[in-house]
Amino acid sequence: MPELPEVEVTRQSFASRIAGARIAAVRMGKPLRWPLGVAPESLVGQSVRQVRRRGKYLLLDLDHGVLLLHLGMSGSLNFATQQSAPGKHDHMDIETTQGCLRLHDPRRFGAAVWSRSEQQDPALKLLGQLGMEPLSDEFAIEAFAKGLKQRSAAIKQVLLAGDVVVGVGNIYASEALFLSGIRPTLRAQKLSMPRIIKLHAAIRSVLARAVAKGGSTLRDFVSAQGKTGHFQLEASVYARQGQACHICASPIRQIKQGQRSTFFCPTCQKH
């Protein structure tokens, strides 16, 4: 599924082009994971002030309220001056004075939800329990360490949970743990402060590098300009099971954690 870098790349690919646009029409297709929560025509006439990101959600600030978009497992957004006729898996079109924003989602796990504000439901329910943003100043080492010390689960699982730090999905958790030399099965509360500092820096580095590379395209991710990502081409451990570690030449191993595949180097990553 699209993770934080892919969502941020998507945001960057259309945010400046849609900012200030006035909504002329809204077309909704088959139902998505949650209802829009307001009549589509009530959005007509409003302007898109800016596009922000919170975790894996994109937030379109309107004149009245905020529209939350989630790409689900396989969704993508496309913004173009003109769109072709909507296809079977095109579930929302927002026609604006500057172009049309289309949500394409073959599996319909994505969402488009309007909320009066971030401080009220449904936005509060969806965003209220999210952890710190890893690419912001809010991601402080002290707060990160405090959160980890309160968790007895494996560090990989804690990173994926998203309540300590948000958006470190499966690909990037494996890569950050490799970069910091930490075994993914180590209990979070067992991490020493020096190792927490290394992990903190690794998370920032891996996510920033992924954004710079356009995210990861494993199946069908494309930005709102139709561009694929390239981070997966330089992954150190993710999906490299059996291949030699770039550092020590040991074979990369694959295990299952919480029904998700984890990749690590048994030599470079210590308990």
* CA 159 to the chain's CA centroid: 13
Distance CA 47, CA 35 (A): 21
Q: Give me the pLDDT at residue 231, please.
A: 57
Positions marked active-site: 2-3, 56, 260
Which CATH number does 4-127 carry?
Answer: 3.20.190.10
- CB 66, CB 114: distance < 8 Å: yes
Q: Where are the domains positioned within the chain?
A: 4-127, 141-264
Nearest Cα residue to 22 out of 54, 44, 38, 52: 44
Low-confidence ranges of the chain (pLDDT < 50): 217-219, 221-223, 228-230
Alpha helices in the chain (DSSP H): 4-18, 123-127, 141-149, 155-161, 170-179, 193-212
pLDDT of residue 233: 62
Domain 4-127 identical in fold to domain 141-264: no
Task: Please state which of the four CATH numbers 3.30.70.1520, 2.40.50.100, 1.10.8.50, 3.40.50.720 is assigned to the domain occupying 141-264.
Answer: 1.10.8.50
> What is the C-alpha separation between 195 and 180, in angstroms, rounded?
7
How is residue 98 written in tokens?
A: 């500057």
Please report which helix (H) or strand (E) contains residue 257, including its range: strand 253-257
Nearest-5° Cα angle at 175, 210 to 170:
85
CA distance 124 to 259: 28
For residue 182, the SS3 value is strand
| pLDDT of 214 | 73
Distance CA 50, CA 62 (A): 8
Specify the residue for token string 């073959």.
106
| pLDDT tens for each residue of 197-233 | 999 999 999 999 888 887 664 445 444 555 544 455 6
- What letter represents residue 260's amino acid? R
Residue type, position 123, single letter: A
Total residue length of the chain: 271
pLDDT at residue 181 in the model: 98
Whether the upstream peptide bond of residue 122 has omega within 30° of 0, thus cis, is yes
Cβ atoms of 230 and 171 closer than 8 Å: no
Please report the pLDDT score of residue 232 as a whole number.
Answer: 59
Neighbours of 38 (CB within 10 A): 16
Asked if residue 1 lies in contact with residue 74, where contact means CB atoms within 8 angstroms, the answer is yes
Q: 151-168: per-residue pLDDT in tens?
A: 999 999 999 999 999 999
CB 252 within 8 A of CB 243: yes
Q: For residue 43, with 0-12 CB atoms within 10 Å meaning exposed, 13-18 middle and 19 or more buried, which class applies? A: buried
What pLDDT sits at residue 210?
Answer: 87
Instruction: State the residue for tokens 């330089």.
Output: 234
What is the structure's pLDDT at 67? 98
* DSSP secondary structure, 75-127, as one string: -EEEEESS-PSP-TTEEEEEEETTEEEEEE-TT---EEEEES-TTSTTHHHHH
